[in-house]
Amino acid sequence: MVPMAETNSTTGEKAPLAGAVSLVTGGSRGIGRAIALRLAAMGSSVSICGRDPEALQSVEQELQQRAPRVFSEVADVTRAADVASLVARTEATLGPVSILVNNAGLGVFGPAHEKSEEDWDRVVNTNLKSVFLVSREVAPSMIRHGRGHIINISSLAGRNTFAGGGLYCASKWGVQGLSGCMAEDLREYGIRVSVICPGSVATGFSGRGPKDPLKVLTAEDVAHAVAMVVTQGPQSFLSEIHLRPLRKA
């Protein structure tokens, strides 16, 4: 488990993640923003990355009102050099990463046979390769400390197929397999690897079209699931969560 403190001295409320350092990829908008804000509210210091400097700065300012310490960096998490810089500068500023949320993702939809090699590379590199690169970068420090959480944001599309979802589903099925194997590789070191599979979420994500807002998840629903994962007891971990809207579309 991550280090914990009994109370938040300014509010008197419990801060279950006091002393923790969280890194959230794709933290400048949508689900990543909601997760970062939730972890900050729980007492964790938070590092976020993204590709849009203005959006990143806006979320950083929000986080500064909640988190003990904050760091942000423009980074492309599909590039090993960017990932190495991000993790090194996060740990130099905040301390060793104890919670990693691999959230960066994008979707390109339509029949696979109509998509380009560039489309394939964009989707698979962002949704799957980034999980490998960032997890690989933080794992050695977590192993040395004998604890940590790695939480991979997948999708129910990683469990189900649908017309036009070839590239997206392939990337998310890959996240499922990678997460399961990482969990087995790292559990003996006290590191918990979990995967969260949301259904449709009401964000600016380039999905398959407009949805009834009453029949989709919110970004805060996913953030709540992350909060559940990082507050498990010392003898257990939530390996996989399927998150669905209450009302069926």
- Tens-digit pLDDT profile for the chain (249 aa)? 444 444 444 444 679 999 999 999 999 999 999 999 999 999 999 999 999 999 999 999 999 999 999 999 999 999 999 999 999 999 999 999 999 999 999 999 999 999 999 999 999 999 999 999 999 999 999 999 999 999 999 999 999 999 999 999 999 999 999 999 999 999 999 999 999 999 989 866 545 555 677 789 999 999 999 999 999 998 999 999 999 999 886
Predicted confidence at residue 206, as pLDDT, reads 46
Predicted pLDDT of residue 85: 98
Is residue 194 within 8 A of residue 150, CB to CB? The reply is yes
pLDDT of residue 4: 42
Q: What is the pLDDT of residue 247?
A: 87
pLDDT at 208: 53
Q: How many CB atoms lie within 10 A of CB 127?
A: 28
Residues known to be catalytic: 168
- Residue 1 inside a domain? The answer is no
Residue 212, pLDDT score: 75
pLDDT of residue 207: 53
In a domain, residue 26? The reply is: yes
> Considering Cα of 229, then 128, then 24, then 209, what sign does the dihedral take?
negative
Q: Residue 205 has what pLDDT?
A: 57
User: Does residue 214 lie in a domain region?
Assistant: yes
pLDDT at 215: 84
Joined together, the tokens standing for residue 247 give: 């009302």
CATH of the domain at 34: 3.40.50.720
Residue 223, pLDDT score: 98
Query: What domain range is 223 assigned to?
Result: 21-243
pLDDT at residue 3 in the model: 47
Has this prediction a pTM greater than 0.85? yes
Q: Is residue 159 part of a domain?
A: yes
In a domain, 249, yes or no: no
Residue 2 domain-assigned (yes or no)? no
Give a yes or no: residue 71 inside a domain.
yes
Number of domains in the chain: 1
Q: What is the pLDDT of residue 13?
A: 60
Say if 31 falls within a structural domain: yes
